[in-house]
Amino acid sequence: MNRFRHEVLYYAEGVDGFVAGTLPFVKRALAGQEPVLVAVGAERIAGLKEALGDEAERVRFADMRALGGNPARIIPVWREFLERHCADGGPAFGIGEPIWPGRSPAELVECQYHEALLNLAFDPGQAWRLLCPYDLDGLDDEVIEAARLSHPLIAGAAGSEPSAVYRCAHEPPIPLEDPLPAPCPPVEERTFAIDGLHALRRFVSAWASEELLDDERRERLILAVNELASNSIRHGGGRGRLLVWRESDTLLCEVRDVGHIADPLAGRRRPAVEEHGGRGLWLVNQLCDLVQVRTSPGGSVVRAHMRADERPA
């Protein structure tokens, strides 16, 4: 293996099927002395640890439900894994399951976006292998088929084969220009410029309080909107529009401006200490439960989601 290998693995029968499908790959990587990171749900972690026995101590595990609620946070985790454990460019192995049953429609769209961006982020580059399991029993047929578009390889017990419908990451459809669903009324709207950020923060604070968002999450939402509005002022023509509304248990804040985001990986790279820019979208991704970015020559839209309940971010 002399390049990044991004593979989908289909499995059935829940945890048992997941373990049966992934265990041979993990054992093979460990036999080759490769660093291994498995980022999946807690039940699958427990099942794989039991099957590995003492060898589980050689594997790094991460609960994908915690780290990947917002899929934009996942690529930085893989980058950190590679930098820490194979900085010399040696091979490594990962298992990542960002799509699980129960994901919302908006989360599924962003997960599929993430899967396509993995190819852009790591190919060409360091030689490592990422296996992405997909649950045949729990996921809709459309989601199962979409995985073939974003994964160049399909893994199986007899080896891997190319996906006949894989779309190269350097071509569309990385959906930066795909429109987002229209906001659900009632929607409140404010315009802003450089002299209006304080008033904008007050407005978001008052609205979030009316929607009974707890203090800690309200402060995170205010900071996220302030970052997005500041980005609009710096890079989006000096002004912008904020729309806010609620959908079920989620508060949504959307910032629109006339700027264009050229980098599809914006907000998915941890800024270096010496960097002076690039922190706005990164910070928003750390603060919010989901962030959707769309951009075109006519302008950009960033939609931040914040749940009103107590599930972990």
DSSP states of 189-205 as a string? EEEEEGGGHHHHHHHHH
pLDDT in tens, 228-238: 999 999 999 99
The pLDDT value given to residue 178: 81
The pLDDT value given to residue 158: 80
What is the CATH number that goes with domain 5-162? 3.40.50.300
Q: In whole angstroms, what separates CA 51 from the centre of its chain?
A: 28
Strand partners, 60: 37
Rounded CA-CA distance 14/288 in Å is 30
pLDDT in tens, 46-60: 999 999 999 999 999
- Enumerate the CATH 3.40.50.300 domain ranges in the chain, comma separated: 5-162
* Intra-chain end-to-end CA distance of the chain, in Å: 36
- When pLDDT is cut at 50, 70 and 90, the band that residue 170 belongs to is low
The pLDDT value given to residue 313: 42
Percent of the chain with pLDDT strictly greater than 70: 93
Give yes or no for residue 311 having a pLDDT over 70: no
Cβ atoms of 245 and 185 within 8 Å: the answer is yes
Rounded CA-CA distance 132/282 in Å is 24
Cis peptide before 152 (omega within 30 of 0): no
Give yes or no for residue 173 having a pLDDT over 70: no
Give yes or no for residue 200 having a pLDDT over 70: yes
Least confident of 149-163, 166-180, 245-259: 166-180
pLDDT in tens, 263-290: 889 999 888 776 666 689 999 999 999 9
Least confident of 47-56, 85-94, 132-141, 175-184: 175-184
- When pLDDT is cut at 50, 70 and 90, the band that residue 312 belongs to is very low
Give yes or no for residue 292 having a pLDDT over 60: yes
- Enumerate the CATH 3.30.565.10 domain ranges in the chain, comma separated: 188-307
Q: What pTM did the predictor assign?
A: 0.93
CATH for the 188-307 domain, from 3.30.565.10, 3.50.50.60, 3.40.50.150, 3.30.70.270: 3.30.565.10
Helices (H), the chain: 14-31, 42-52, 64-67, 74-85, 105-122, 141-150, 197-210, 215-235, 280-287
The pLDDT value given to residue 284: 97
